[in-house]
Amino acid sequence: MKKKVLVTGGCGYIGSHTVVDLSENEFEAISIDNFSNSRKKMMEGISNLLKRPHINYHINLCDKNATEKVFQEHSDIEGVIHFAAHIYVPESVENPNKYYNNNLNSLINILDCCQKYKVNSFIFSSSCSVYGNAKELPVTEKTPFGEAECPYARTKQIGEDIIQDFCKANPQFNAVILRYFNPAGSHESSKIGEAPIVENTHLIPIITEVAIGHRKSMTVFGTDYPTRDGSCIRDFIHVMDLAHAHTKAVQFLFEKKNETNCEIFNLGIGQGVTVLEAIQSFEKITGIPLNYSLGERREGDVAAIYADTTRTKNVLGWTAQRNIDDIVQSAWDWENNKSWLLDNESKVE
Ligand code: UDP
């Protein structure tokens, strides 16, 4: 029997890739997703890759009664991966309460359900944004939280604190906190990929949207940062690598390899790439010159961040297999193939 894992946000970008990766390994994944920033048609792509219909519950995790019903119906859930969250830095600056309300209430509800239904393996999507503007790079898991540059980052800091406290109060409960750097790219099949409902503000999809003509041009936000070319530095990580890290984390907990009941891992490649270098990679891989201009800094951005991946490699046994060129290639393939997903669909409330 495959062990059952509940994936919240399982029809979203990273969630969908993880559902597929779990299922290709020794797990059965079911999901909760209210399609607030994902598309119902994503179910087709996931099911296609699973070669069976994917089971998803269309539920808002802030609705505790509805969330509980899933745990009641599936008493064999052995672990939870909690992806579901709002994720955009600029949107969080404009509408902080949307972020605090959703990201924190959903986390509290799902932890309550884990406690009530005795699900003791929990994986949380955190973010390198918890480090803020780190004084020393690369950041290790021991690097302290910095001042949050935006409400989104603060929801991840508070979320981690909530989990730490919950773990202290519940010694039988085991959590892995995964701090993602900058996920991008898509599944090699192009059957699933990044297709948010709200306007995407992430760099790599903006590059591909400009290249395909959905946007006229793009702006590099800030060229006066203290970096090698003046643009921000990020650690872009392929979504397929990231998805597999979740499978490793589930195995890690199920095999009781954790030393403490709250383990933290950085998930990045371990190399910083500037915004301009990401653009150059795209132009080199595709041969398409990109229409971009150099502009002002964007509020909420840190200058530079990339991961020290030593602990993740040694303790979790995971390292990224793909680089920035692989990322932009797969992102471009997805951009050219995703129209089926966007056809005839309006926002699902
Ligand atoms: N960025 C940019 N132009 C864009 C979108 C993003 O220059 O149109 C920059 C952004 O300022 C940041 C980096 O790309 O320095 C990564 O931003 P993204 O929103 O992808 O991820 P974040 O690091 O904010 O989570």
Asked if residues 123 and 242 have their Cβ atoms less than 8 Å apart, the reply is no
Residues 32/38, Cβ–Cβ less than 8 Å? no
CA dihedral 185, 187, 192, 197 (to 10 degrees): -10
Q: Indicate the SS3 state at residue 96.
A: helix
Query: Closest residue (by CA) to atom 15 of ligand 1?
Result: 232
Domain 3-342 class?
A: alpha beta
Nearest residue (CA) to ligand 1, atom 14 = 203
Domain map (residue ranges) of the chain: 3-342
Cis ω for the linkage preceding 171 (within 30 of 0): no
Res 347: pLDDT: 41
CB 217 within 8 A of CB 276: no
202 CA → ligand 1 middle, Å: 5
Ligand 1 centre from 203 Cα, in Å?
5
Buried b or exposed e, range 128-148, using 16+ CB within 10 angstroms:
bbbbbebeebbbebebebbeb
Cα(4)–Cα(67) distance, integer angstroms? 16
Phi, psi of 215 (to 5 degrees): -125, 145
Tell me which of 275, 276, 282 to substitute to probe ligand 1's pocket, judged by most ligand atoms within 8 Å of the beta carbon.
Answer: 275
In the residue annotation, 117 being an active-site residue is answered as no
pTM to 2 decimal places: 0.96
Give pLDDT tens digits along the chain (349 positions): 899 999 999 999 999 999 999 999 999 999 999 999 999 999 999 999 999 999 999 999 999 999 999 999 999 999 999 999 999 999 999 999 999 999 999 999 999 999 999 999 999 999 999 999 998 999 999 999 999 999 999 999 999 999 999 999 999 999 999 999 999 999 999 999 999 998 889 999 999 999 999 999 999 999 999 999 999 999 999 999 999 999 999 999 999 999 999 999 999 999 999 999 999 999 999 999 999 999 999 998 999 999 999 999 999 999 999 999 999 999 999 999 999 888 765 443 3
Strand partners, 82: 8, 124
Q: How many CB atoms lie within 10 A of CB 322?
A: 19
Residue having the nearest C-alpha atom to atom 5 of ligand 1: 203
Residue 236, phi-psi category: left (phi > 0), alpha (psi -120 to 50), beta (remainder):
beta
CA 56 to ligand 1 centroid distance, Å? 31
